[in-house]
Amino acid sequence: MLTTRYNPNRYYFLNSLFDEWEQKSRTESVSDFTPSVNSREGESAYHIEVDLPGVKKEDISVSVEDGKLIISGQRAYKDEVKEENYYKVESRFGKFTRSFALPDEADIEQIHASSTDGVLEVVVPKLESALVDKVKKIEIK
């Protein structure tokens, strides 16, 4: 009689492949997406750039609420190929929301946004009082 020792790691490779496939299929089927964001501070304004390839301007919303800048929207992508003996449709849909806390010196009345080549740029100007030197010399009497 031949006996085989039980090895719990015997099927580890197959399980890890299955887990990887399951994780990949789960993330591809999720309808939400998170766009990448770059932000920087200039002398007179804060700049926020959001990568939104394939998202139309009409599908983007920028608002200020309770001291937060909220950028939200949705994308809808549909690729349809019709040939004599072949028909294929690929579509991707998703919604996103990103929010940013605005600093006290932000001029929320002058915020403006523009979208060019799939990149949304939001410019948040600083208040005039914030642009004055923050260092105040105090005279000693």
- Determine the pLDDT at residue 104: 86
- Determine the pLDDT at residue 132: 57
Instruction: Report the candidate in 116, 36, 34 with the shortest Cα–Cα distance to residue 75.
Output: 34
Residue 19, domain member (yes or no): no
Residue 15, domain member (yes or no): no
- Determine the pLDDT at residue 71: 92
Instruction: List CB contacts of 13: < 8 A, sequence separation 6 or more.
Output: none
CA gap 116, 120 in Å, rounded: 7
Query: How many domains is the chain partitioned into structurally?
Result: 1
In tens, the pLDDT along 61-120 reads 999 998 899 999 988 877 888 888 888 888 777 888 999 898 888 888 999 999 988 899
Alpha-helix residue ranges (DSSP H) falling in the chain: 12-29, 128-131
Question: What CATH number is given to the structural domain containing 75?
Answer: 2.60.40.790
Residue 111, domain member (yes or no): yes
- Determine the pLDDT at residue 82: 87
In tens, the pLDDT along 20-65 reads 555 554 444 445 678 899 999 888 899 999 999 888 889 999 999 9
- Determine the pLDDT at residue 80: 85
Residue 22, domain member (yes or no): no
- Determine the pLDDT at residue 28: 46
CA gap 118, 55 in Å, rounded: 7
Using CA atoms, how far residue 57 sits from 12, 120, 126, in Å, is 47, 9, 25
